[in-house]
Amino acid sequence: MSFKKHILYFYPSQLPQSKEQWDTLYHRVTSWYGLPEDDQSRHAISTYIMHLPQHQHRAPLKDFVRVIKKQLANEASYQVIEELRAKAKAAAAVEKEA
């Protein structure tokens, strides 16, 4: 990681005030830190910004990276839970037939 990226990772930057600024922030976070550019990441960043306190107008990039990584972990965990539910439902159906 370059020195500039390392400093900007911790230094609070201004929140986006337009769609173009939002796109710039999103691209910076996903490309600099190797995160996926998908709808889940876009949703995670948007939700994070909307839930910041009203008085907060700056946030470090590390917070956006953390939010996207947490969203990815949530999605993976949800998929596992859905697989377990489907397996349990199938097992219950087999027992019911027997």
- The pTM (predicted TM-score) of the whole model is 0.77
How many whole angstroms separate alpha carbon 37 and alpha carbon 94?
A: 41
Question: What is the mean predicted confidence (pLDDT) over 21-45?
Answer: 92
- Per-residue confidence at 8, pLDDT binned at 50, 70, 90? confident
C-alpha span between 62 and 33 (Å, rounded): 10
Rounded Cα distance, 37 and 41, in Å = 6
Compute the Cα dihedral for 7, 11, 17, 22 and give only its sign: positive
**Rounded-to-integer distance, Cα 85 and Cα 22, Å:** 37
Structure tokens at 76: 């993976």
* pLDDT category of residue 95 using cuts at 50, 70 and 90: confident
User: Mean pLDDT over residues 64-92, rounded?
Assistant: 94
Dihedral of alpha carbons 29, 35, 37, 40, sign: negative
Examine the pLDDT at 91 and tell me if it is beyond 80.
yes
Both tokens of 59, joined, read 């946030």
